[in-house]
């Protein structure tokens, strides 16, 4: 057997041992508990790939945690520990809707940043705790894409436009938006923005017009956010835990933090994938994704 064969066998053995170990030590806990679920980085629909993938929080991971917690009768309260600038619109909405669907005590702790989509998720809880210096709010929507037409013109590269619908290639990086197309896209963003505003108003029990006045996309420090009604308390994770213990009338309740372990296969697949990708694949991904709308 050559060295690569031996290496593969060692990897498989390590993976099996790790799996068996996790099962042996994953004993069912029947104590009542508060579950802390971290939401870190950009909120996305897809999982990042491996240790060299772009950092982010996929809905797949968070939704699994929320659904599991919702079914677990020993989980009496959930704390979302948020450090996120926002991300994909649908991903943020899915997490916020899942949180609201759980009939348990739910708090959010905003650490450094809980803005835009991150704030949308936080607003879906019963209480928001943040530092006076935390970055919050930023209730707005952005649509963006790379545009290469000037670069193409410089190097004599042409874009042959063949479409079967006049608006089919809106957001392609190979040409400018026409004034009509830009207006069209701005109107789409306004629809998303208005939906975002309404959801925050519902979640925070605020008047829509009051939310609309501050929904300029501006971020607010925690000290400003409290005056505007966007957060409830100053503090941190420990503050949230103590407040929830009091609300649950159980000062001895156990606190568990949800942690995700990456398998050894995930690590190596991530390395091989990212070592093999270059600027060409990045541009291809941009072309496939086209215009991105984020909160």
Q: What residues act catalytically?
A: 116, 168
Cα(179)–Cα(33) distance, rounded to whole angstroms? 56
- Provide the terminal-to-terminal Cα distance of the chain, rounded to the nearest Å: 53
- The residue written with tokens 């400003």 in the block is 224
CA nearest to 34, candidates 202, 204, 178, 247: 247
The burial of 3, by beta-carbon neighbours within 10 Å (0-12 exposed, 13-18 middle, 19 or more buried), is given as exposed
What radius of gyration do the chain's Cα atoms show?
23
Cα(61)–Cα(49) distance, rounded to whole angstroms? 13
Q: What is residue 295's DSSP assignment? A: -
């Amino acid at each position: 057997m050559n060295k690569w064969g031996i290496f593969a066998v060692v990897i498989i053995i390590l993976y099996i041992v790790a799996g068996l170990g996790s099962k042996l030590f994953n004993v069912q806990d029947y104590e009542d508990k508060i579950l802390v679920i971290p939401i870190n980085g950009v909120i996305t629909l897809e999982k990042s790939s491996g240790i060299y993938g772009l950092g982010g929080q996929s809905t797949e991971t968070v939704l699994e945690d929320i659904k599991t917690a919702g079914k677990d009768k020993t989980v009496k309260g959930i704390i979302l520990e948020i450090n996120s600038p926002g991300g994909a619109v649908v991903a943020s909405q899915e997490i916020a809707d899942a949180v609201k669907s759980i009939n348990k005590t739910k708090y959010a702790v905003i650490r450094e940043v809980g803005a835009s989509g991150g704030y949308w998720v936080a607003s879906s809880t019963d209480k928001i705790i943040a530092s006076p210096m935390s970055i919050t709010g930023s209730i707005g929507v952005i649509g963006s894409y790379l545009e290469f037409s000037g670069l193409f013109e410089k190097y004599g590269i042409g874009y042959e436009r063949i479409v079967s619908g006049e608006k089919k290639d809106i957001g392609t990086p190979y040409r400018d938006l026409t004034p009509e197309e830009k207006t069209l896209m701005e109107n789409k963003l306004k629809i998303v923005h208005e939906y975002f505003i309404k959801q925050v108003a519902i979640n925070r029990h605020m008047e829509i017009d009051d939310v609309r006045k501050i929904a300029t996309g501006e971020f607010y420090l925690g000290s400003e956010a409290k005056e505007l009604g966007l957060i409830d308390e100053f503090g941190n994770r420990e503050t949230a835990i103590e407040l929830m213990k009091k609300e649950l009338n159980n000062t001895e309740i156990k606190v568990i933090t949800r942690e995700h372990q990456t398998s050894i296969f995930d690590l190596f697949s991530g390395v091989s994938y990212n070592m093999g990708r270059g600027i060409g694949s990045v541009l291809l991904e941009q072309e496939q994704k086209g215009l991105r709308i984020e909160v």
